Amino acid sequence: MSVAAVPKVRLTREQLEKVIEISPFTKWVGTRVTAFSNGQVGVEIDIRPEMAQHHGFAHGALVGYMADTACAWAAASAVGDVVTSEYKLNLLAPAVGEKLRATGSVVKAGARQVVTRADVYAVRDGVEKIVATALATIARV
């Protein structure tokens, strides 16, 4: 991760957890921060029946949400307030399980944007399986 040349106004874990409380969708999904350090974040949610698509696994939009959240929050942990500019999501397997977990990390932080990546895993009976990977550009606010 390259963040040395960028002024640091990072968000703390506590600030990210407050975002969950004030963001209706994020709160409804049940997002939890599971890991936090400068440029790296882990998040997870429980998969509920109303989050499934017609084949019974977690909807792709939910998988995309997890990738986007992990990417944006990893960027926020390094540079402060951010919004997603774009992301590319590769769906690799059906998201079957009780939970979704995502890990996000900063690839490079610049003056205006942060490039990040994330992997999303479905957890079934305690076993993680990668279901998606993403690359995102996150804009500093």
For 44-58, how does the pLDDT look when each residue is reduced to its tens digit (9 = 90+)?
999 999 999 999 999
The full set of domains in the chain, from first to last, is 13-140 (3.10.129.10)
Give long-range contacts, CB 8 A cutoff, 24+ apart: 57-63. Answer: 57/94, 57/95, 57/96, 57/122, 58/95, 58/96, 58/97, 58/100, 58/122, 60/91, 60/95, 62/29, 62/95, 62/100, 63/89, 63/91, 63/95, 63/100, 63/120, 63/131, 63/132
Its pTM stands at 0.93
Mean pLDDT of 111-117: 97
pLDDT of residue 4: 44
